[in-house]
């Protein structure tokens, strides 16, 4: 009987030999968790799936570069984040501040449990943020990048990264405030 680590090692070795079956197994092993990472940067599921595919292409092309430092899942996650950043750079808007509707047609479920927003609903709100805000917020608050790393990755200054994070947080607070006010009026 093989352990999960031995199975992963076998899949990994097959991927290094460009065996399609091993690549498919590797994809199935990580795809759902990495799709969740991609969703944090995308505006919708289709865009997230595009990022996911781009990320796996990069992974399969660069598997020989994995040195074994840290977890394999961490390495895969980092590539997915970089795939999202690359997509952002290609599609980067000319203007930093974009208009966005706090009252868009994206449904937010009634998700309050002692006034706490559920994670899935918070993710929906984050997806409403303009791309620049969303990217900086995700990289800093969720992925743990420094403002210097964010600035380098997104082609902006460290100060602009800090300012963008502040604006993203402010926008999120406003959306949550509007949502709670709306919920209070519905149940008053």
Domain residue spans of the chain: 1-91, 96-188
pLDDT at 98: 37
> Is 184 a residue whose pLDDT tops 90?
no
CATH number, span 1-91: 1.10.1740.10
- Between the alpha carbon of residue 47 and those of residues 21, 30, 137, the distances in Å are 26, 18, 18
pTM of the shown model: 0.61
Give the whole-angstrom CA distance, residue 32 versus residue 138: 18
Tell me the two tokens of residue 140: 């800093």
Q: Using DSSP, state whether 119 is helix, strand or coil.
A: helix
- Between the alpha carbon of residue 38 and those of residues 112, 119, 135, 144, 178, the distances in Å are 25, 15, 11, 15, 27
pLDDT at 43: 84
pLDDT at 2: 65
H or E segment to which residue 39 belongs: helix 20-39
Mean pLDDT of the residues in the chain = 81
Q: How many other CB atoms are found less than 10 A from the CB of residue 124?
A: 19
Contact 51, 80 (CB under 8 A): yes
**Using DSSP, how many helices (H) and how many strands (E) does the chain show?**
8, 0
> Is 139 a residue whose pLDDT tops 60?
yes
> Is 172 a residue whose pLDDT tops 60?
yes
pLDDT at 185: 55
Tell me the two tokens of residue 78: 């980092």
Question: Among 52-56, 63-67, 115-119, 120-124, where is mean pLDDT lowest?
Answer: 115-119
Contact 126, 114 (CB under 8 A): no
> Is 123 a residue whose pLDDT tops 70?
yes
Give the whole-angstrom CA distance, residue 99 versus residue 130: 7
Find out if CATH 1.10.10.10 is the number for domain 96-188. Answer: yes
């Amino acid at each position: 009987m093989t352990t999960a680590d031995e199975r992963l090692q076998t899949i990994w070795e097959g991927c290094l030999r460009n065996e399609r079956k091993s690549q498919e197994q590797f994809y199935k092993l990580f795809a759902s968790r990495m799709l969740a990472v991609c969703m944090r940067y995308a505006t919708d599921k289709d865009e997230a799936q595009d990022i996911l595919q781009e990320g796996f292409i990069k992974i399969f092309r660069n598997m020989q570069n994995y040195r074994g430092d840290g977890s394999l899942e961490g390495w895969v996650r980092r590539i997915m984040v970089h795939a999202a950043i690359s997509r952002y750079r290609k599609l980067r808007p000319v203007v930093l501040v974009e208009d966005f509707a706090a009252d868009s047609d994206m449904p937010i479920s009634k998700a309050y449990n002692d006034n706490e927003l559920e994670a899935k609903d918070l993710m929906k709100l984050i997806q409403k943020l303009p791309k620049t805000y969303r990217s900086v917020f995700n990289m800093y608050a969720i992925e743990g990048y420094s403002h210097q790393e964010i600035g380098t990755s997104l082609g902006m200054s460290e100060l602009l990264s800090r300012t963008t994070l502040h604006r993203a947080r402010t926008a999120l607070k406003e959306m949550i405030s509007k949502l709670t006010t709306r919920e209070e009026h519905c149940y008053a």
